[in-house]
Amino acid sequence: MDLLSVLVLGFAAGASTLLGGLIYNFFKVGKRYLQWALSGSTGVLLSVIMLGLLPEAVNLGGLMYTALGFILGGVIFMVAGFLFPHTYLYEKYEDRLYSILKTGSLVLAGIFLYNLPAGLLAGAGYAVSASLGTAMFIAVVLQNIPRGVSVSIPMSQTATEKNKILVMLLVSGIPAMIGAVIAFGALSGATGVILSTGISLSAGAMVFVFIDQMMPVVKADRRMHETAITLFIGLFIGVLLLGI
């Protein structure tokens, strides 16, 4: 895998939110089905991280460096979340205390904060092997399609034109592209310890973002049993994806 290919795939992974935006524009997606898609795709990505990327990190550099990178990635994006106010999904669009304009800007910030670690994750996967990178790419795309639907909801309430929303979703591929190029460029050909720390840092960043974004959704969902089932199915699909 060369750097140009990773650049293109990183952008495509991030910009796949555009597919969700198109689905929102042409089809009526119920909140219940959207939550199924989000929890299921979250399961896929978590499975690929926990069973694919992190074991590779342990094999390459040992448990200590893997743990160090993982916690460092989480802390970095925890700090970023405090420095840049945002919302990841649609938890704010029903909150009338938020102004319409502010809600749209918070959602857009959330898209960018999510796609950067997603790009790091894909780039780190490709630095390990083409098969693991491809699994990461597919998992990110599966997660980003329902995300594109969910973020279109509050942005449409800002009276933003549909075409403008779609352009924003397309442009959101840029931070994923940057993250993929940084991770792949820094980790390709690296020693075991550096590679182990780098890929586990990407994993820790992504897992923290998952927790940060999914907790409001789970808290607001009255169908916890259904969320658990779709999350479990997603984990199972992730296991199958690693075997392809």
Quick one: the chain helix, strand, coil %, rounded to 5? 85, 0, 15
Work out the number of other CB atoms within 10 angstroms of the CB of residue 243.
7
Note the pTM of the prediction, 2 decimals.
Answer: 0.80
- Chain-centroid distance of CA 112 in Å reads 10
Cβ(123)–Cβ(6) below 8 Å: yes
In the structure encoding, which two tokens stand for residue 243, read together?
A: 């075997």
Cβ(48)–Cβ(136) below 8 Å: yes
DSSP SS3 for 27:
coil
Residue 216: the pLDDT is: 61
Q: What is the pLDDT along the chain (244 residues), one digit of tens a residue?
A: 788 899 999 999 988 988 988 888 888 777 777 778 888 888 898 899 999 999 999 998 999 999 999 999 999 888 877 776 655 554 444 443 334 334 455 566 667 777 888 898 899 999 988 988 999 899 989 888 888 887 777 666 655 677 887 888 888 889 899 999 999 998 887 878 898 999 999 999 888 877 776 666 655 556 677 878 888 999 999 998 887 6
Residue 137: the pLDDT is: 92
Residue 83: the pLDDT is: 74
Cβ(176)–Cβ(10) below 8 Å: yes
C-alpha 122/C-alpha 185 separation (Å) is 12
Cβ(15)–Cβ(128) below 8 Å: no
Dihedral of CA atoms 37, 41, 42, 45 in degrees, nearest 10, equals 180
Residue 100: the pLDDT is: 38
Residue 102: the pLDDT is: 47
The domain segmentation of the chain, as residue ranges, is: 3-242
Residue identified by tokens 């909140």 is: 31
Task: Write b or e for each residue in 149-186: b if 16 or more Cβ atoms lie within 10 A of its Cβ, otherwise e.
Answer: bbbbbbbbbbebeeeebbebbbbbbbbbbbbbbbbbeb
239: which residues sit within 8 A by CB, 6+ positions away? 47, 51
